[in-house]
Chain A
Amino acid sequence: MRKFNDIFKFKKCERSVLFNNLNSNRIYVFAVLIIVIMTMTKPEFLGSGNIVPMIKTSLLPIMVGIGFTYVMIAGNFDLSVGAVINVGAAVVMGEFNRFFAIFGGDAGGTKAIVFAWIIAFAIAILAGIIIGLINGLLVAKGKVHSFIVTIGMLTALSGFVYTYCKGNTISADNSLFVNVLEKSLINIPYLKVLTIRFVICAIVLIFFEILLLRTKWGRSLLIVGSNKEAAWHSGIDTDKKIILSFVISASTATLAGMLFAISMNAAVPNYGERGINPLMLVLASTIIGGTVMTGGSGSVVKTAVAVLSIQAIFNGLIMNGLGFDVQVLAAGILLALVVIYESYSIYKQVLNKGVRVAAELKEKRKKLKQATTT
Chain B
Amino acid sequence: MENVITNMKEDVRKTRHNIVTVYLTKFGVLAMIAFLALIGMLVSPNFMSANNLLNVLNAVSYLGIVATGISFVIYAGQYGDLSAPMTMAISGVICVEFMRYGLIYGVIAAVATGAMIGLINGFLIGKLRTNAIIWTLAMNFILEGLVRWSYKGTQIYPDMANAKTYTTGFFLPLMMKLDPNILEIDLKTRAAAFNGLASTYIFGLPLVLFVMIIVMITGFIIMSKSTFGNQLKIVGSSYNVAKMSGVNCTKIVILAFMMSSICASIAGVFLTSLNQVGAFYIGQGYDFIAVTAIILGGMSLSGGRGSMLGVFGGVFTIGLISNILTLIGVGTFTQKMITGAIFVVVVAVNASSLRKLGRDYA
Contacts and interface: CB of A to CB of B under 8 A. Distances in A.
Contact of B348 (A144, A328, A344): A144
Contact of A325 (B79, B149, B340, B347): B149
Given A155-B285, A159-B339, A283-B134, 19 more contacts: A138-B344, A138-B348, A144-B347, A144-B351, A145-B361, A149-B344, A152-B347, A153-B344, A157-B337, A159-B337, A163-B333, A323-B152, A326-B149, A328-B144, A328-B148, A336-B135, A339-B130, A343-B131, A347-B128
Given A156-B340, A163-B333, A331 B145 contact: yes
Interface in B286-332: 288, 291-292, 295, 301, 331
A151 interface: yes
A77 B339 CA distance: 21
A333 interface: yes
A160 B138 CA distance: 26
Q: Report the 3 A-B pairs with minimum CB-CB distance, sorted nearest first.
A: A156-B340, A329-B145, A159-B337
Given A145-B362, A329-B145, A339-B130, A163 B340 contact: no
B26 to A, nearest CB: 22
A324 interface: yes
Interface in A338-356: 339-340, 343-344, 346-347, 350
Contacts of B151: 325
Contact of B333 (A167, A274, A280): A167
Contacts of A340: 124, 128, 130
Contacts of B148: 325, 328-329
10 contacts: A138-B348, A148-B79, A156-B339, A159-B334, A160-B337, A280-B141, A293-B131, A328-B145, A332-B142, A340-B124
B152 A144 contact: no
B336 interface: yes
A343 B336 CA distance: 34
Interface string A265-290: 00000000010010010010001000
B139 interface: yes
A363 to B, nearest CB: 30
Contact of B351 (A142, A160, A293): A142
A333 B344 CA distance: 31
Interface string B72-104: 000000011000000000000000000000000
Interface band, chain A: 35 or more
A147 B138 contact: no
Contact of B152 (A151, A287, A325): A325
A335 interface: yes
B348 to A, nearest CB: 5
A143 interface: yes
Interface string B190-215: 00000000000000000000000000
Interface of B: 79-80, 124, 127-131, 133-135, 137-139, 141-146, 148-149, 151-153, 281, 285, 288, 291-292, 295, 301, 331, 333-341, 343-344, 347-348, 351-352, 355, 361-362
Interface of A: 77, 138, 142-145, 147-149, 151-160, 162-163, 167, 274, 277, 280, 283, 287, 293, 323-326, 328-333, 335-336, 339-340, 343-344, 346-347, 350
A149 B148 CA distance: 30
Given A149-B344, A343-B130, A155 B79 contact: no
A269 to B, nearest CB: 8
B138 A347 contact: no
A218 B186 CA distance: 67
B296 to A, nearest CB: 12
A70 B280 CA distance: 32
Given A326-B149, A343-B130, A152 B343 contact: yes
Given A144-B347, A156-B340, A167-B333, A343 B129 contact: yes
Contacts of B301: 145, 148
Nearest to B331: A163
A137 B331 CA distance: 29
Nearest to B355: A143
A155 B340 contact: yes
Contacts of A148: 79, 291, 295, 301, 347, 362
B153 A163 contact: no
Contacts of B351: 142-144
Contacts of B331: 163
A6 to B, nearest CB: 31
Given A77-B133, A293-B134, A330 B145 contact: yes
A331 B141 CA distance: 8
B337 A154 contact: no
Contacts of A151: 288, 291
A158 B124 contact: no
Contacts of A155: 285, 288, 336-337, 339-340, 343
Contacts of B128: 340, 343-344, 347
Contacts of B340: 152-157, 159
A160 B338 CA distance: 9
Contacts of B124: 340, 343
Nearest to A269: B333
A294 B338 CA distance: 32
Given A283-B137, A329-B149, A144 B79 contact: no
B145 A333 contact: yes
Contacts of A324: 153
B79 A147 contact: yes
Contacts of A328: 141, 144-145, 148-149
Given A155-B288, A347-B128, A162 B333 contact: yes
Contact of B153 (A144, A152, A325): A325
A137 to B, nearest CB: 9
Given A155-B288, A283-B137, A340-B124, A149 B333 contact: no
B279 to A, nearest CB: 11
B103 to A, nearest CB: 29
Contacts of A283: 134, 137
A100 B144 CA distance: 42
A159 B149 contact: no
